[in-house]
Amino acid sequence: MPATPASPRATTPGVPLPADDPAIFDLDLRGLRARWADRAALSPIGAEAMTGADRRAQAMGVSEERLMEHAGTAVAAAVRALATDTERWGSGPIVILCGPGNNGGDGYVAARRLALNGAGGQVVVAVLAAEMRPRGAAAARNWDRIAGDAGIAKVHVPVARDVAVFGQGLERAAVIVDALLGTGVRGTLREPIRSAVELIVRSRERGIPVVAVDTPSAVDLSSGEPSDPAVRADLTVTFHRPKTGLLTRRGAAHAGKVLVAPIGIPSEADRG
Confirm whether 115 is domain-assigned.
yes
Read off the CATH number of the domain in which 116 is found: 3.40.50.10260
Confirm whether 222 is domain-assigned.
yes
Task: Reply yes or no on whether the pLDDT at 8 is more than 50.
Answer: no
Query: How high is the pLDDT of residue 182?
Result: 80
Residues of the chain with pLDDT > 70, as a percent, come to: 94
238-257 per-position pLDDT tens digit: 999 999 999 999 999 999 99
Task: Reply yes or no on whether the pLDDT at 11 is more than 70.
Answer: no
**pLDDT band with cut points at 50, 70 and 90 for residue 5:** very low
Query: How high is the pLDDT of residue 188?
Result: 81
Long-range contacts (CB closer than 8 Å, 24 or more residues apart) made by 249-256 = 249/224, 250/219, 250/224, 250/225, 250/226, 251/219, 251/220, 251/223, 251/224, 251/225, 251/226, 252/224, 254/216, 254/219, 254/224, 254/226, 254/230, 255/212, 255/215, 255/216, 255/219, 256/210, 256/212, 256/232
120-134 per-position pLDDT tens digit: 899 999 999 999 999
Closest-CA residue to 215 (of 188, 191, 187, 248): 248
Confirm whether 170 is domain-assigned.
yes
| Enclosing domain of residue 68 | 25-267
| Total domain count, the chain | 1
Confirm whether 166 is domain-assigned.
yes
35 and 24 in contact (C-beta within 8 Å)? yes
67-123 per-position pLDDT tens digit: 999 999 999 999 999 999 999 999 999 999 999 999 999 999 999 999 999 998 999
Average pLDDT, the chain: 93
Task: Reply yes or no on whether the pLDDT at 1 is more than 50.
Answer: no
Confirm whether 15 is domain-assigned.
no
